[in-house]
Amino acid sequence: MHAGYNAAGTVLGEFAHIAAIGWTQQDGTVEWLCGGSLIADSFILTAAHCAADWKLTAPDVARMGDINIYSDQDDEYAQQLTIVQVIRHPKHRFGVRYYDIALMKLETNVWRTSYVAPICLWLQDEIPSTRLLAAGWGQTDTYGETSQNLLQVELSLVNNSECAKHHPAGGIALRSGIEDHQICAVDPVMDLCPGDSGGPLLVKLNSFFGVYAPFLVGVTSFGKACGLAIPGVFVKVSKFRKWIFQQLELNGERISPQLSDPVVCASHYAERSGKKSYGNTQPLFIISVEFNDAYTVSLEWSGTAAPIRCSGTLIEPNVVLTLAQCTSHQGAQPSRVVFADSTAMKIRDVIVHPNFTEHAPYHNNIAVLRLESYASAVPACGWYEDSFPVNNIKIQGYNYNSQSILVSSTITPQTDCNAVRKYSSPFPQGIQDEHICFKNPHFLIPHVCDLKLGASIQPKPTSNFVWGLNMLGRDCGYGVPAVGVRLSAHKAWLESVLLPRSSPRNEGLVYIDSDLDVQDECKYADGTKGTCTPQQNCPAIHARLQSKEQLLFCGNTAVVCCPERATNLETKVIEDEFNECEARYRHLRTERQTNTSHMAEIGWQEAESVTYDCYGYLISTRGIVSSASCLLGKAKLPNIVRLGGLGTRGSSEIFRVEEFIFHPKYNRTTQQHNIAIVKLESAVEPSEHVFPGCLWQNVTHSPVLQQVYDYGMCTQNEYKTNFEIYGRWS
């Protein structure tokens, strides 16, 4: 190991798993040329190229529990055993860099102590940290002597594409470049050198057992001349799980939970080490085990086990807040809540946020549970301010024994959550203001802490205020940020549910604000925002008329406060297209048309086939309306749209689908609100063959004459009426 200023010595017991692998010489001395890691009582994991020295002689001895392998001053706990078998990976070839992994069997089991014991294996492909440790007795520079003392260095992970710039494909040794069973790590000063081969690349993870447990991530394989700060290459242990376990079993080693279960292994490590953490470790951040507060409840279902383990927070004597995702499973709703003292209370009503939908379950993911009676527990208080006075918070979770635990965390910018690749799918538009992003920077052993879904997010150290609800994230937000629901984002909805007014629609039905004019921003008493717009340009005003809601006029009755008027340029363009549709496309309408210029075929394009099983109606240059049930009728969503007239194939065009927007209240069972928008990747160029149809925007009156087209039954361009094709009324 190149001895730059980042090099660090080690203490006895810090690397209890590490083994020096040696070759006994004719004069009885041992030449220590490789390292390895004890992974079972009689097996060492090392590099396959360590199976022979330059004379093609196999190693015969392994030494553990020692720091200075050339001195007898620290030999009190050392154990030196004969290597009786070397098992190289069957795909390894000397002189080639791939599959550089091997097992070495010892003559007998080691005697487990605080200074000699197996390391835990990290068997997941995703490495739980970007900062790792390597150790060895290798040379201190390219032409130097091997180190007498065990040295360690902290390395940073490097992605394989970046690593390939330093280790390009070519030659016999690395014909295919860096492959997926290899990983790379680097330090600006330190390098791995000859003699470090086979040694460990490990990560120390918070275990909540009182120590940070080491997990073997990689095996040192190769690098370039040491001292150049070029990434070293390691064999990724997780890629060889099956082979390692298979070889251990073939050679008499039982695959115990300590080998395969990270929690069990970490607990054994804690017992063996005497709960001693080595190196620059941080506090474990656990606040309380078997934690329960009076206002946290668990949700239960009648006659069946809960589909998911969900909790809620009492915010009124008879009101519990929880996640909307926790309120339904296969059509059933939770029937009661259970408090920490085992008191159970029946749920009277379940009120889910009206904009929550199963198609976007992490938006508007909040619900109110009204209880049949009043709880004796003191409720928590909701925090409805937009900002938080502190960043330190308390998070509730379950530990490996399903005990409730309380851990500390920190609110972090939304960009931290948006940077998490796995959140790109559940949050296609990114983390929003309705979310709380929180994390603890230290990685945790899997399942040592799982989020208690629906439980409260509270400030630390002590407060009765609830800022949000746990929603999504692994390991309670350790290492990778977790996401919660922010209560303040849903203040208006919660007020409408919890603080209903006696007769809001009869108060000030019409109001004229003489200070407002066209294009001014305006706001209704119920909180609805808008823009002052001439009445003829505001079809949305009809909805307020129909529902007998307050009308706000700006200066005079010709200008109205138009609800939800577009404030960004993209949305304004769409609104203008809807409002100006008849005039904008009048020149494209001819007597020869059969109304197919607006119709769309929606299809599934696979590798070798295309099927069009859904239909829709072009309502803008990038938008198509269709039925949600048809679009969701297959395992995958459709990916293409064909436009241009069903009867004129020669002029049709194919467009790729960018996004689907399903009605938030769509119900698969009842087929209510069975409607969806298909957004195209590129805009349609309006022509006689393809141009948008206009939307009827008057919500109080319907056209006298209406037609429904059955796209599937076409004879000589005449379409028969079949209402079921387009879905039921929403």
* Angle, CA of 435, 437 and 441, to the nearest 5°: 170
d(CA 702, CA 704): 6
Strands in 510-513's sheet, in edge-to-edge order, are 510-513, 551-554, 559-563, 529-534, 521-523
Judge whether 48 and 36 are in contact, CB under 8 Å: no
| Active-site annotation holds for 463 | no
d(CA 566, CA 584): 20
| Active-site annotation holds for 576 | no
If we measure between CA atoms, which residue out of 359, 337, 357, 361 comes closest to residue 347? 337
Could you tell me whether strands 510-513 and 551-554 are parallel, antiparallel, or unpaired per DSSP bridges? parallel
Buried b vs exposed e over 71-100: b needs ≥16 C-beta within 10 Å? eeeeeebbbbbebeebbbbeebeeebbbbb
d(CA 368, CA 350): 6
Catalytic residue among 100, 196, 450, 475: 100
Query: CA of 358: how far to CAs of 261, 327, 328, 435, 630, in Å?
Result: 34, 12, 10, 17, 16
**Phi and psi torsions of 89, nearest 5°:** -60, 135
Q: Where do we find the tokens 């800022």?
A: 467
318: number of Cβ within 10 Å? 15
| Active-site annotation holds for 49 | yes
- Judge residue 496's burial from the number of C-beta atoms within 10 Å of its C-beta, 0-12 exposed, 13-18 middle, 19 or more buried: middle
Amino acid making up residue 161: S
- Judge residue 703's burial from the number of C-beta atoms within 10 Å of its C-beta, 0-12 exposed, 13-18 middle, 19 or more buried: exposed
Catalytic residue among 17, 49, 92, 598: 49
Could you tell me whether strands 465-466 and 381-382 are parallel, antiparallel, or unpaired per DSSP bridges? parallel
- 3-class DSSP state of 483: strand
Judge whether 622 and 600 are in contact, CB under 8 Å: no
d(CA 149, CA 639): 61
Catalytic residue among 42, 197, 238, 626: 197
Mind telling me the catalytic residues? 49, 100, 197
